Structure 1
Amino acid sequence: MLYWAIVCLVIAIIAGVLGFGGIAGTAAGFAKILFFIFLILMVVSVVVNVLRGRGPKL
């Protein structure tokens, strides 16, 4: 999921440089949503692993 957020961010940057403001805004918004979903899932995963007695693998 983080991969797709980075891909959307790169698309937004390229579209912004080329002057496609609408596409850049949409791609940036989509990247932001995917990034926050990734963060929420990561925190849930860490909390579940800690509660099960398994800490994060370092």
Structure 2
Amino acid sequence: MAEPIKFDTEHWGKGFATEAERGALRIDFERLGFPEIVSSTSVGNVRSRAVMVRTKRSK
């Protein structure tokens, strides 16, 4: 199952991706009962990586 999240550039840097990711994680774990979530992004995608770190999907 994939959960791609993409925002137009005018919405970057406003915390929307982080909040969307936190909501998705809550649904995945609490409602759907997933035991584990795996995340990935390209090496150069600094903004996505930052969202993953803030939502504790990566270090």
TM over 0.5: no
**TM-score tier after normalising by the smaller chain length:** 0.3 to 0.5
Tell which structure's C-alpha radius of gyration is larger: 1
Higher helix share: 1
Q: TM-score, normalised by structure 2?
A: 0.39
Give me the TM-score of the superposition, normalised by structure 1.
Answer: 0.39
Q: Which has the higher contact order (CA 8 A, sep 6+)?
A: 1
